Amino acid sequence: MDEQDKLILLKKLLLTEENEFAQSIAKKVEELNTIVHKKNELSNKVDPIIDDKLEEFVKEIPKTLGPTITEALKEEIKNSQDAVVDALFPIIGKMIKKYIAHEMKLLSENISNRTKSAFSFKKWLRNTKAKASGVKSGDMAISDYGKPKLIQMFVIEKESGLLIAEYSPLSQGTIDKEMIAGMLTAIKSFVEDAFQGGDQNLEMIEYELHTIHIQNFYSYYIAAVIAGSYSMMFKEILEDQILDFAQHHISRKDLEDSTLFTKKLKKHFADDIV
């Protein structure tokens, strides 16, 4: 045995354990390499397990997470009652209003048929005048009444009477608008308290050729000052426009941002209502 052989033997004796460890590592690396490179094979094995687990998870959601989600929603609604009611108020109002409008229409048609003959002379007279002047009979009928016009509109916080937004297309007025909002609220509160109408609200104030149309919501109300003939037809259109505005354009944030709200109000009611 020469020097070289002795050295190899010694090396073998001294490094036996390390060699075995290195070999086992190499084997594991090779196995992992095989697994990684055989992705499809892995996918075939793992996918059905994941699918099963996912399906089971989806089935279990109502049982496991359901009560937690329901509880969280309940808590959220409880903490945001004002916001929820504000959002629902215009929708419910619109539904009730449509139902009543439909019933009223039926009643009105019924009455119209019965009274048609009684007003036939008036109709004949208008038709004759229309023919003579060249103006349509319908236009003439409408012009018999003063066309209603929106003078001012106020959005007012119901309890405090503080002005949230206002729009004055036809009048700047002589009295401070915040004072008007306060006094309107005081008058409204007084009437509602004085006649003990329960949860009833003041809906209209009339003075000579002007009418203040009041539409109540949960935390605020809208007062529209109208000049001219405040007919039922006009009232219907105005109510619908205000409900539409409340439903689609008023959010909780608007009620806190007077400037933004005023801009929205001006934009929405800039055109003639009728």
Partner 1 sequence: MTSSKKVVLLGHFGVGKTSLFRRFIDNAFSEDYKVTLGVQIKKKVVELPNGKELSMIIWDTEGHTDIEDTRKSYLLGSHAFIYVFDSTREETYKNINEDLAYLTNIHSKVLIKVIGNKIDLIKEKTAKDQLKALNINVDCFTSAKTNKNVHEFFLDLANELTS
Sites of contact with partner 1 (CB under 8 A): 157-163, 176, 178-179, 182-183, 186, 189-190, 192-193, 258-259
Q: Among candidates 194, 219, 209, 208, which has minimal Cα distance to 82? A: 219
Closest distance between partner 1 and the C-beta of residue 160, in Å? 3
Pairing type for strands 204-207 and 163-167 reads unpaired
Closest distance between partner 1 and the C-beta of residue 187, in Å? 9
Q: Which amino acid is at 203?
A: E
Which CB sits closer to partner 1, 150 or 214? Answer: 214
Which CB sits closer to partner 1, 179 or 204? Answer: 179
Closest distance between partner 1 and the C-beta of residue 267, in Å? 19
Name residues whose C-beta falls within 8 Å of residue 126's C-beta, 6 or more positions apart in sequence.
Answer: 137, 140, 141
Residue 148 DSSP code: P
Which CB sits closer to partner 1, 178 or 240? Answer: 178
Closest distance between partner 1 and the C-beta of residue 186, in Å? 5
Contact call for residues 207 and 50 (beta carbons, < 8 A): no
Closest distance between partner 1 and the C-beta of residue 131, in Å? 56
DSSP-based three-state secondary structure for 142? helix
Alpha-carbon 133 to chain mean position:
49
Name residues whose C-beta falls within 8 Å of residue 4's C-beta, 6 or more positions apart in sequence.
Answer: none
Q: What CA–CA distances, in Å, run from 155 to 200, 242, 256, 260?
A: 19, 11, 12, 13
Closest distance between partner 1 and the C-beta of residue 83, in Å? 17
In degrees and rounded to multiples of 5, residue 152 shows phi and psi of -150, 155
Name 221's bridge partners: 156, 216
Which CB sits closer to partner 1, 167 or 261? Answer: 261
Which CB sits closer to partner 1, 8 or 179? Answer: 179
Which CB sits closer to partner 1, 162 or 274? Answer: 162
Sign, Cα dihedral of 221, 225, 230, 233: negative
Closest distance between partner 1 and the C-beta of residue 181, in Å? 8
Which CB sits closer to partner 1, 86 or 239? Answer: 86
CA-CA distance, 153 to 184, in Å (whole number)?
12
